[in-house]
Amino acid sequence: MTITDTTDAPEDAVGRADPTRPDSSYRGAQALLFAAAAVAIASTALAILAGSDHAGAVPNGLRVAVVVAAVTLLPGAPIAVLLRLRQPALVGSVTVSISFATMLIIAQAEVVTGNLRPVTVQLYICAVSAALILWASRTLVPAVPRPRPDRTAVVTRYALLGAVAVAVVLFAHATKVLRPQASGALGVITHIGFSYLVALAIVAAVIAVALSRARLDPVVLGAAGLALIMFTTMYVSLADGVTSIPTAYTHRGLIDIIASLQGLPPPSDARFSWAGFFSAGAHMSGAGALSDLSPMLLWAPLFYGGVTMLPLYSIALSLTGRRRVAWIAVILYLSFNWYQQDYFAPQPTATMLYLTICALLLWQLRSAPLPSAPRSWRRWIVTVPRRTLGTVPGVGAGRTLAIEALMIVLIAAIVITHQLTPIVLIAALFLFSLTGTTRYRLLWLFAVALFVAWFSYGAVDYWKGHLAYVLGDVGQVSGAVQGGVSDRIGADPLYQKMQYLRLAASGALLMFAFAGWLTYRRRKTWLIGGLLCMVPFGLVLVQSYGGEVVIRCFVLASPFIAPYAADALVRTFAIIRRFTGRSAQPRHWSRTVAATAAILGIALILTATRGLNTSFEHTDEDQIRYGDALMRSVPQGSEIMVIGTAAGLVSARYFDDVRVATMESFECLDDLSGCVRKENPDFVFTTRQSSAQIYLQYGYSQSVVDQQLGMLVGSDEYRVVVETADLTILQNASTPPVVLK
């Protein structure tokens, strides 16, 4: 069967969709507004309690939940309903993104002006949201009564949801028995228990059954997708009780700095030049009087993974035109997401906004008429850039302009939040304009203007005096690739093989995607879809990003790669059925069993690739607790030397003349005690994970740190303050003893 632009039809047994017919977005609008109203009331009450210093009466976990719900739904929910986008996933994506963008922009304005008033501002946001909710509720059109659902479909839904619940219980047991500290060169995969394997198999079976049914159930697929996210991204974190991604604690510290100083600090960290995320964190902390951000750090992968499913599905539906393939694309994306860029950080926040902009543009492209392109390449080059996309049927000029205004707000939020994502966004918007596949032909110029303005004003501390360094990476493709690939392979042979598995997984997804993309040549989304897959990789021409640019390329490209890979996978299964002579009926059990095995296998590979660095990335609760206590307790003017990494030591004490130093060169690994003596710090902080990292990535013995620290203690130059199986803190014997608070 050839897939062309004419395949968009009402949903049938193979899951096609009509982009212009009314659907469940209208029926779900009332529920969305009700949820937003409830959150507005709860957020208002919490802000009042925070302003009167009585928020402590509410458990911190509940306060975190209310604050996160407010940032997710307000004021985006009523705005999304007012736009009447007719696609539930797109409505959800716009809801989350406009709420994110509102918080990012307002909080950054508070911080830049030195007027951080989170309680007052949050009350204003809730009041405006309440007014918008009332307005949006008056525009709702009563939905056409739906026929009662088929009893078999209802029973199947609850049976599959029950299976997911059983899998979650088994997974909870698996986290109780996992010991991340036992992980070695192969990561966590060699330590997974039977409970984890069974839980993952159940979720794989649920996904396979749900995808094989004649009519897809988004509730079941959504629940199974969330379970898959939790199982593959939070296994180690839930076992430790804290997030397994150390950099999240650095971001917690940057938020603490802004909240403590009530504004941006003096030039100290490049991330403060794009402080939107950290400013929003400071606002959230104040508006909810949050005593601990740890729940946000712990559950961030599930939260970001869940909300990202919304634009992912919308993008896949626009690129392929088939609901079933779109859901397979979502599952594929989740199953190949080993990059660990869904933690508490600016990157997933900016990625969500970027994907929402692309989802809106692709939805318009799929739904609106587009002037045909001439066959001659010469005429094509002249004609295509000059054509303009029509309007979406049923969407008037007012709403079309409102969508453009919304995207400008999202662009502004991205520009103040992340360093790399705006570059990819500008290139993507330019390509939409160049290929004549958007009505907003000058939107990329708005993005350029906003980026240049912020880079010239907000990021001046980043490039002032360092312009040669900033421009030094431009055009250094080999250096960027080497830093992002070759330098990360490591020294241990087993660890190297697992790194190659990561590369193979991403390479396989790319090859499948290319094969799938070739089959869509007759669709009007074909050209821009392929360009969106490619454009993030242009980042290697601009930045090395500390050796992470290749990973960031895949993070921003994978949402567009996955739909084409999903289509290629479906076509591959169809070819296999044709040659084996098996039935093509959707309910054929052999097909479901094969799909279950495939999903389980891919999920286990993800468990291995995602959990590869567990031995030196996972964090123990004691390490965070003692690290926080150390930063609270050291006298003003102290110096702490860190062997390895200690992201948890980032705090506002940096501006109380407390210095945290790290090893300056690899030569220190040969003589740690000598480096410590030369630096002569007041405290030395190291963890067991540091020894594992030194061994796996650089080839040094894991005992080298213990031996060198033992020499310091044996010489009476340092004394032990804390010593556990996972942590050692030494204090200079010449300084007064410190009691950790």
Q: Can you list the domains of the chain with their CATH numbers?
A: 23-143+246-292 (no CATH), 620-732 (3.40.190)
The pLDDT of residue 23: 42
The pLDDT of residue 162: 99
For residue 374, whether the previous peptide bond is cis, meaning omega lies within 30 degrees of 0, is: no
The pLDDT of residue 465: 59
Compute the distance between CA of residue 421 and CA of residue 32 in angstroms, rounded to an integer.
Answer: 29
Nearest to 534 by CA among 653, 395, 427: 427
Burial class (CB in 10 A: 0-12, 13-18, 19+), 683: buried
Compute the distance between CA of residue 516 and CA of residue 534 in angstroms, rounded to an integer.
Answer: 15
The pLDDT of residue 654: 86
What is the C-alpha radius of gyration for the chain, rounded to an integer number of angstroms?
26
**Own/partner pairs, 146-152, CB within 8 angstroms, 24+ separation:** 146/27
Residue the block writes with tokens 């626009």: 318
- Each residue of 359-391: b (16+ CB within 10 Å) or e? bbbbbbbbbbebeeeeeeeeeeeeebeeeebee
The pLDDT of residue 667: 67
Tally Cβ neighbours within 10 Å of residue 34. Answer: 13
Compute the distance between CA of residue 553 and CA of residue 269 in angstroms, rounded to an integer.
Answer: 23
Residue 150: CA count within 13 A, CB half-sphere: 7
CB distance 32 to 337 below 8 Å: no
The pLDDT of residue 11: 37
The pLDDT of residue 18: 45
Burial class (CB in 10 A: 0-12, 13-18, 19+), 583: exposed
Which stretches of the chain score pLDDT less than 50?
1-24, 586
Compute the distance between CA of residue 299 and CA of residue 302 in angstroms, rounded to an integer.
Answer: 6
